[in-house]
Chains A and B, each alone.
Chain A
Amino acid sequence: MSESAVLTTPPAAMEDQAAPATRVRGYWQSVGYRLRHDKVTCFFAFMVLLIILSAVFAPLLSPFDPYKESVIGRLKPFGWRNHILGTDELGRDMLSRILHGGRVSLLMGIVPVLIASCVGGMLGVVAGFMGGRVNTGIMRTMDVFYAFPSVLLAVAISGAMGGGMVNGMLALTLVFIPPMCRVAETATTQVRSLDFIEAARATGAGTFIIIRHHVLGNVLGPVFIYASSLVSVSILLASGLSFLGLGVRPPTADWGLMLSTLRQSIYVVPFVCALPGVAIFITSICFNLVSDGLRQAMDVRM
């Protein structure tokens, strides 16, 4: 057996030859950089901002009272006596109603998703981190909800609880919790098996700190991206509920409800009747494309 066999001799110079640090950019900085250079996302983000602002400042922007009815001015086309977008079947100004309707739609689009991400995300993280029986318990319960198509589930829940905006939001929240929970669970399970969780444990971190710091930090990204894509779904579902008479009650201005009541007049003033639908379409597509852009900007880790 030759003795020098396995002994490697150290190279004379062992000191660092690593390349000097180039520009160091934080994660969020690089996300911001990518977003700024994504023109499509920038444009649609601007649109989303416009939609939100116009909803917030609807009372200031509306040329007429959205609830002021007029017997002679019913179902008038675009531009009739200063009603830029015409009037509806009760003679109310369409532009004002679309602006006001945006408030309800955005609220119904964002609030349920927010609540569902918190609740579903938390359940998912717990399920994913604890594993075993806890995971089975939570995830099988979620699977029960999955058995129903989401639209049907939303209709069934708000149908059972009665109409109204709060019940509609509750129904939508319940619909969004299972998919949110699943996303969080998947992300957590992936993160849980990575070395840095064990490394954190090896530096003395307790379970709570590990979840709060290392799991949440890594799960928040996917959850946020998924949530942003759910907003447009939520807007659509909310409009659907109102259309079916299960969401907000008339005379509240709401896109889904307006679509529903105007549908009988489609042959009289087709363009006016299509307006709420167009509003829903534009809003949901804007949210969707922004969410796509966010996903692309945030997903490139490593």
Chain B
Amino acid sequence: MNKTEPLAEVRDLKVRFVGREDTVHAVNGVSFAVHPGEVLCILGESGSGKSVTLRSLMRLLPDRARIEGDVRVGGQDVLKMSNRSLRDLRGGSVSMIFQEPMTALDPVYTVGEQIGETVRRHTGCDKAKARARALELLNLVRIPSAERRLDAYPHELSGGLRQRAMIAMALSCDPKLLLADEPTTALDATVQIQVLILLRKLQAEMGMGMIFVTHDLGVAAEIADNVAVMYAGRIVEYGPVERMMKAPLHPYTQGLLASTVHDQSRDQDIDAIPGSPPDMRRPPPGCGFAPRCVKARDVCRTAVPAERYPEPGRMAACVAVEVPEMAAA
């Protein structure tokens, strides 16, 4: 669908967390690609494996994680990288924004010091230049009176400003790929939209690829080009955001959209998806969503449904999805 070389390509990624007693199968065969200038949103609820998938792109997982599959960023195999080149990759061509701006900045260093540190690590420039660059970045993320904020400690900034500082830090070395792990979840609604719009704008200006993890459909609708819906460690539906929001293919996505608040009358109950996500220590043999699915058939419980492509650019892993003859080829 896209002619350019993908920025990041993940093929059949599997991540397990091996513990003493049990093994958690967090990600079970995820494949996707992100092209320059594209925003991919990974949508899913807690424990669906979305953050783990994101972190695998930087190999930023604890030692007990066993990663399998193929993860390529800028043509390089991340899983086979040496620690040294991995350090160059992190914060260099790929960087990350975290969920909690409260804890993602070190409380004992000023914002300027922290941004400058990253700049210096990757470019090797001197302190004065790093500071100038930090100031430039704070202006870029539109922090008011940036000069003074440079010497502010994280606890002196509001949540929104802190998240902007975090973004500034992530952008410090002009990354080609920006990973965002629910960067707006901890912010209140008005700040959330500001940060989203800022991110979208910066992403477009700098031509970055972005992978944005969220559990919020509204956020996904706001920022994404393409959405990958994850459930139980698999991508169950993938496609362009407008078409997915209008006509979701997978029963899980349908359930998600049905359970959001919109123009319905006040006394009407919201349709919730019954049941709860499977225990990933013992993932079900078939479709992960089958136990909660209203359309589940017998085959769903025994085998993982194959990916189907009913329209160009769209995928759904569900047996209930009809594939027209033309598109099947």
A residues touching B (Cβ–Cβ < 8 Å)? 1-8, 10-11, 14-16, 18-21, 24-27, 194-196, 198-206, 209, 213-214, 217-218, 221, 301-302
A-B contact count (CB 8 A): 143
Q: B58, B105, B110, B145: which contacts A196 (Cβ < 8 A)?
A: B105
Q: Are A6 and B217 in contact (CB under 8 A)?
A: yes
CA distance A3 to B247 in the complex (A): 9
Given contacts A8-B222, A195-B104, A199-B96, contact A27 B153 (CB under 8 A): yes
Residue of A nearest to B261 (CB): A5
Residue of B nearest to A216 (CB): B108
CA distance A98 to B166 in the complex (A): 57
Q: Are B106 and A4 in contact (CB under 8 A)?
A: no
Q: Is B88 an interface residue (CB 8 A)?
A: yes
Given contacts A7-B222, A302-B155, contact A201 B60 (CB under 8 A): yes
Closest CB in chain A relative to B137 CB, distance in Å: 13
Given contacts A5-B262, A6-B221, contact A196 B106 (CB under 8 A): yes
Q: How many residues of B contact A (CB 8 A)?
A: 66
Q: Are A205 and B158 in contact (CB under 8 A)?
A: no
Q: Is B98 an interface residue (CB 8 A)?
A: yes
Residue of A nearest to B169 (CB): A203
Closest CB in chain A relative to B18 CB, distance in Å: 14
CA distance A6 to B214 in the complex (A): 14
Chain B residues 139 to 173 lying within 8 A of chain A, measured CB to CB, are: 142-145, 148-149, 151-153, 155-156, 158, 160-161, 166, 169-170, 172
Chain B residues 72 to 93 lying within 8 A of chain A, measured CB to CB, are: 83, 87-92
Q: Is B136 an interface residue (CB 8 A)?
A: no
Q: Are A202 and B161 in contact (CB under 8 A)?
A: no
Chain A residues with Cβ below 8 Å from B170 are 203
Q: Is B100 an interface residue (CB 8 A)?
A: yes
Given contacts A10-B193, A10-B197, A18-B158, contact A204 B105 (CB under 8 A): no
Q: Is B95 an interface residue (CB 8 A)?
A: yes
Q: Is B122 an interface residue (CB 8 A)?
A: yes
Closest CB in chain A relative to B106 CB, distance in Å: 4
CA distance A28 to B143 in the complex (A): 24
Q: Are A204 and B107 in contact (CB under 8 A)?
A: no
22 CB < 8 A contacts A-B = A1-B254, A3-B245, A4-B262, A4-B263, A5-B262, A8-B221, A8-B222, A14-B194, A15-B142, A16-B142, A18-B158, A18-B161, A20-B145, A24-B156, A25-B156, A27-B108, A196-B103, A198-B104, A201-B90, A204-B87, A204-B90, A218-B108
Interface string of B178-222 (1 = CB under 8 A from A): 000000000000100110111000000000000000000110111
CA distance A20 to B152 in the complex (A): 13
Q: A1, A15, A27, A209: which contacts B246 (Cβ < 8 A)?
A: A1
With A5-B262, A10-B197 known, 7 other A-B pairs at CB within 8 A are A7-B218, A8-B193, A8-B221, A24-B148, A196-B106, A205-B87, A217-B108
Q: Are A203 and B262 in contact (CB under 8 A)?
A: no
The 5 residue pairs across chains A and B that have the minimum distance between CB atoms? A203-B91, A204-B91, A5-B262, A204-B90, A195-B104
CA distance A244 to B151 in the complex (A): 54
Residue of A nearest to B219 (CB): A8
CA distance A19 to B90 in the complex (A): 33
Q: Are A10 and B95 in contact (CB under 8 A)?
A: no
Closest CB in chain B relative to A276 CB, distance in Å: 42
Chain A residues with Cβ below 8 Å from B102 are 302
Q: Are B122 and A204 in contact (CB under 8 A)?
A: yes
CA distance A201 to B96 in the complex (A): 10
Chain B residues with Cβ below 8 Å from A194 are 103
Q: Is B53 an interface residue (CB 8 A)?
A: no
Q: Are B153 and A26 in contact (CB under 8 A)?
A: yes
Chain B residues with Cβ below 8 Å from A26 are 110, 151, 153
Interface string of B107-145 (1 = CB under 8 A from A): 111100000011001100000000000000000001111
CA distance A26 to B155 in the complex (A): 11
Q: A5, A217, A218: which contacts B260 (Cβ < 8 A)?
A: A5
